Every structure is written in structure tokens, then in C-alpha cells.
Amino acid sequence: MKRLLFHFDTDAHPSVFDCVVGYDGGADHVQGYGGVTPENVGQLVDGTIFTRPLKDKHNTAIFVSGGDMSAGEQVLDAIKKRFFADFRGSVMLDSNGSNTTAAAAVAQITQRSTVKGKRAVVLGGTGPVGLRAALMLAREGAEVLMSSRSWNRSNQACAHLRERYGVDVKPFEANGDDERGALIEAAQIVVAAGAIGVQMLGEKHWRDNSNLEFLSDCNAQPPLGIAGIDMVDKGTQRHGKTVFGAIGVGSLKLTLHRRCIARLFEASNQVLDAEEIYALAKTMA
């Protein structure tokens, strides 16, 4: 029986990246749909749950992605609501690679040191990757600060994390490298999750900071998110800190993403979201 992965994307076009990793993770066929919303996903879900007998249902799985984390969460909620009794399938949420990237970045740090009680700053934290990194760090007991260019956006994002997940993340506005540099002064951990091709910190902003223990940069497109970190750094020592570049994070992210896809086809009752994906990342980091 063919393993079918139905890819529901909240963006207009289903992500090419997620399609490729769907195949590499073991799907025999990936069918992508764009513009998926909580309102229109029900019919798509029905096609996945009414077509195969119970013993074969694990061969049909759902993957949710897109650039808007909140939209992805709402689609996931609608999918779960549509399932009933044995009419269900396994589903994974990974808006813009949010869960797999954040899980890889955070697990690489937490597998080397406890973060409980330490201050972690997530730069560009309002995007999907930053939101998930903030959530995972907060659940590990870190004091998490989220930066955005807008206090309103950061405040809204932190309010969402509190309401949906019960974690406390502190919102901050920081515009430009100097303001972000000031925000990380008392931090032990920095995760840079700003948009692709945007520098969030210069090397001078972290090089001489003796509080810092770990820096992780997710952005692989020059200029890199944190100047002075090489994109292939993976637990590399620089200026007395342990650093990770975007490829150093991305190699684990990709392996994790593929492994999650493979896991979807093992049983028909799994929901792979932040908690489950991070737990798996911790066994792999």
C-alpha cells in the first residue's frame, strides 16, 4: 500500500521544501494544497480518513505548514476536531520548519547544558521558528526574552504563548543591531530567528560578552543572522562561547524532519507538534 502524505499549507503555494522532505522522509506520494484554512480543511481531511480500512490507515498522513504559525495552529486544531473514533490519521505541524528548526536549535543547547534559570533571548522571535524556540526554552525553565522590531507584535506573540501554552515569555522591542546587542547583555543564551538574509547582531555585540554561553543562528542566507559565526558551526568554540550556525542547526533539523515524516507512517494516532518533535530532537542532538 502506498504511503500518502497530504500537505496542507496555509500559504498560497504549498512549500517546495516540505514536499522534498516529505519524499525523503519516506512518503511514496506527496499531495500539496495551498491556501488551506480551518474553514476549508474539513473536506480535505475527510478524504484522508474515509478511504482506507483501519489496518491501513497509518499509510495516510497529514503535514501542515505555511509562514503563519497561528494559522497553522488553527488548521491543526480544525483537523483534530474533524477526526472521530477510528476515523483519523497522524498529523504533523511544522509551519515554515518552525518545530523542527527550533527543536534542533534548542536541543543542541539543552543536550550540552541545563538552561533552567538562565536567560535566553530569541531575536526575531515573532516568526514561526522564534515562537517555537521561545516555547521550548520556556518549557525547559529558561527566562525567555523575545525581541521584535515592534513592541506590539512581540507583546501579542507573548500573549499568544501564554494563552495557548501557559508559558511566560517577556516581550521586547529592539530595532537595529545595537539595541539587540543591549538586550543580550545579561543573557547566557541567544537564538537568532530573524528573517532570511537579515543580520540581527554584529560580532562586536557578542564577542566580549562574558555572560554568554551559547549562540545559535538559524539564518543561512548572507548576511548571516549573527556575524562572526560560520554557517557550518556546530558546537564550535568562538570567543569562549559555544556557537551553532544555520547549517549546523539545519543538518539536525533535516534529519529530524525526515524522521518525523517516517514516524507519521508508523501509526495512525499521532500528533507531532512542538512537544513531540522537541522530545525526538533531544534523542538525536
Ligand X SMILES: NC(=O)c1ccc[n+]([C@@H]2O[C@H](COP(=O)([O-])OP(=O)(O)OC[C@H]3O[C@@H](n4cnc5c(N)ncnc54)[C@H](OP(=O)(O)O)[C@@H]3O)[C@@H](O)[C@H]2O)c1
Closest residue to ligand X in the complex (CB): 127
Out of 90, 101, 108, 188, name the contact with ligand X by CB under 6 A.
101
List phi, psi (to 5°) of 178: -65, -45
Task: Return the number of the residue (32 or 171) whose C-beta is nearest ligand X.
Answer: 171
Task: Return the number of the residue (45 or 191) whose C-beta is nearest ligand X.
Answer: 191
Identify whether the C-beta of residue 108 lies closer than 8 Å to the C-beta of residue 246.
Answer: no
Task: Return the number of the residue (22 or 124) whose C-beta is nearest ligand X.
Answer: 124
Over its C-alpha atoms, the chain yields an Rg (Å, rounded) of 19
153 lies in the site for ligand X, by CB under 6 A: yes
246 lies in the site for ligand X, by CB under 6 A: yes
Out of 59, 209, 219, 270, name the contact with ligand X by CB under 6 A.
219
Out of 52, 149, 239, 259, name the contact with ligand X by CB under 6 A.
149
Count the alpha carbons within 13 Å of 189 in the hemisphere toward its beta carbon: 29
108 lies in the site for ligand X, by CB under 6 A: no
Asked if the bond preceding 223 is cis, omega within 30° of 0, the reply is: yes
Task: Return the number of the residue (90 or 99) whose C-beta is nearest ligand X.
Answer: 99
250 lies in the site for ligand X, by CB under 6 A: yes
> Which cell numbers hold the place of 156?
501579542
Indicate the DSSP class of residue 84. B
Buried b (16+ CB within 10 A) or exposed e, 155-168: bebbebbeeebeee
162-201 footprint of ligand X as x/- string (CB under 6 A): -------------------------------xxxx-x---
115-134 footprint of ligand X as x/- string (CB under 6 A): ---------x-xxxxx----
What is the closest distance, in whole angstroms, from the C-beta atom of residue 52 to ligand X in the complex? 32
Q: Residue 124, by phi and psi: left (phi above 0), alpha (psi -120 to 50) or beta?
A: left
Sheet holding 90-93, edge to edge: 29-33, 4-9, 60-65, 90-93, 271-272
- Chain contacts with ligand X (rule: CB under 6 A): 96-97, 101, 124, 126-130, 148-150, 153, 193-196, 198, 218-220, 246, 249-250, 253
